[in-house]
């Protein structure tokens, strides 16, 4: 397929690389032109200095940018230049509202918009093992699914526009609680004078096991946080969650608490630390 990919950061860059490796003609765009040039040179692909030029005549326009405002700006600029019937796939984590708005805007122009946030982090993007939760027209998703599978291990259609973003919110709610529990468990083990490696060996094979435990226990116990999914990003996501909960009446006591705990981590200078850094605020 003829594809454009907007947003070549730590997630988008490797995702777009997998598309090139799969044989697609990909034009990259990034707000910082030098980054787009470097990505294109490293991957034998094309790049464009503007969204409009990247979008010209493409069948599939993918974006992975920062927030709601970025998505609105990129989609609005791209739409008039896309091929008739083109599909936009947005991997940005946004509000469900912007997903619905962009789907309606795309439909008015004879094109389709799929909200498709991902789980798996930078490692998942690098390894082509992302999990995609998608909202929007099922037929449009089916047309582009073979391309999106270039960097994914699973794609699940969740329902109409916005359903992908709502599912990603569920994902972040679950992660927030697990990471807080992990932080407290490690803190307790260390306060009790236990060998944390031995504790991990003892509890990770039972009901306490989780992805966070398997991938973050040892680094968190060692106070290593300079990697992974940043606290700033998690706070953005939890802000979307809490806004949606206020609108739909869901009671998210734990999520609100953990969001406040992440604010404490930010105050300690941990804006770019991994989300497992919740442990830091427990240490006197």
Length of the chain: 284
Q: Helix (H, G, I), strand (E, B), or coil: what is residue 135?
A: strand
The angle subtended at Cα 46 by Cα 33 and Cα 70, nearest 5°, is: 45
- Write the DSSP assignment of 85-122 as a string of letters: T-EEEE-S---HHHHHHHHHHHHHTT-EEEE--EESHH
Contacts of 232 (CB under 8 A, 6+ apart): 266, 271, 272
- CA–CA gap between residue 158 and residue 133 (Å, rounded): 6
Provide φ and ψ at 7, rounded to 5°.
105, 90
Q: Helix (H, G, I), strand (E, B), or coil: what is residue 64?
A: coil
Q: Is 156 assigned a catalytic role?
A: no
Q: Which of 168, 205, 236, 279 does the annotation list as catalytic?
A: 168
- CA–CA gap between residue 183 and residue 135 (Å, rounded): 33
Contacts of 201 (CB under 8 A, 6+ apart): none
**DSSP H stretches of helix in the chain:** 12-21, 33-43, 51-55, 68-78, 96-108, 121-127, 138-148, 163-191, 196-203, 211-221, 231-248, 253-267
Q: Catalytic site residues? A: 168
């Amino acid at each position: 397929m003829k594809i454009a990919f907007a947003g070549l950061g730590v997630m988008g860059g490797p995702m777009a690389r997998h598309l090139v490796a799969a044989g697609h003609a990909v034009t990259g765009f990034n707000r910082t032109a030098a980054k787009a040039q470097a990505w294109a040179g490293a991957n034998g692909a094309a790049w464009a200095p503007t969204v409009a030029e990247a979008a010209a005549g493409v069948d599939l326009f993918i974006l992975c940018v920062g927030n709601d405002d970025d998505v609105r700006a990129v989609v609005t600029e791209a739409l008039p230049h896309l091929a008739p019937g083109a599909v936009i796939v947005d991997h940005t984590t946004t509000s469900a509202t912007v997903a619905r708005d962009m789907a309606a805007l795309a439909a008015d122009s004879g094109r389709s918009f799929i909200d498709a946030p991902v789980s798996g982090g930078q490692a998942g993007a690098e390894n082509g093992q992302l999990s995609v939760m998608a909202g929007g027209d099922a037929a449009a998703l089916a047309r582009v699914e073979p391309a999106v599978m270039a960097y994914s291990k699973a794609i699940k259609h969740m329902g109409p526009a916005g359903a992908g973003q709502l599912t990603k919110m569920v994902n972040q709610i679950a992660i927030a609680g697990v990471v807080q529990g992990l932080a407290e468990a490690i803190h307790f083990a260390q306060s009790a004078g236990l060998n944390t490696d031995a504790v991990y060996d003892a509890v990770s094979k039972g009901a306490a096991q989780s992805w966070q435990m398997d991938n973050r226990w040892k680094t968190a116990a060692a106070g290593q946080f300079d990697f992974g999914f940043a606290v700033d990003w998690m706070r953005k996501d939890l802000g979307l969650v809490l806004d949606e909960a206020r609108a739909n009446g869901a009671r998210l006591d734990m999520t609100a608490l953990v969001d406040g705990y992440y604010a404490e981590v930010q105050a300690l200078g941990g804006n770019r630390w991994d989300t497992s850094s919740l442990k830091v605020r427990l240490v006197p």
